[in-house]
Amino acid sequence: MLTVRNLAVCLLLAAPAVQAQTTNVAFGAVKADTSLPVEVTADTLDVNQADGSALFKGNVLVGQGEMKLTAQQVLVIYKKDGGGIAQVEATGDVVLVSGPDAAEADRADYSIETGVVVMTGNVLLTQGNNALTSERMTVNLTTGAAQMNGRVKTVLNPKGN
């Protein structure tokens, strides 16, 4: 079966490529508002009162404004003072979507306070017809700036299509 990831990887392998260690890119057409509520939907939920965490499993969907994240498992860590969510850790088939941009990875760690998402493991960023791969991508959702690190690879199309 041909998936978006497989198609993008095929396109990357079939054309001359540009490789670098670090690349700065924009992510998402709309800047995220990290003060908005975080909505989580999943098949199951396990709450750990002792450490102040909640583990969502199965078809997890996390939404905050225009930003959407899906994964097989999401751990939500609450602030020690009870003042809300501190961190969201997603694993398994992670997809982050903001506006027209989408990124896939093995793992994503989202710090609510800073608005920064760090995606690691087989990162694939798609922006329209463009695709980039790397080992790690750091996205600042409030500014829309992203940085890709570790064997960054992309295909540049000079005709823009």
Number of domains in the chain: 1
Cα–Cα separations (whole angstroms), residue 48 to 56, 78, 146: 11, 11, 33
- Is 161 within the bounds of a domain? no
DSSP string, 128-159: TTEEEEEEEEEEETTTTEEEEEEEEEE---TT
Of 130, 156, 153, the C-alpha closest to 21 is 153
The answer to whether residue 57 sits within a structural domain is yes
Measure the CA angle with vertex 143, ends 142 and 148; round to 5°. 110
**The pLDDT of residue 155 is above 90:** no
Q: What is the pLDDT of residues 111-127, one digit of tens each?
A: 988 989 999 999 999 98
Tell me if 160 is assigned to some domain.
no
pLDDT digits (tens, 9 = 90+) for 39-69: 999 999 999 988 889 999 999 999 988 889 9
Which residues constitute the domain of residue 50? Answer: 4-154
Q: How much is the pTM? A: 0.79
Q: How does pLDDT run across 8-24, given as a tens digit for each residue?
A: 443 343 333 444 456 67
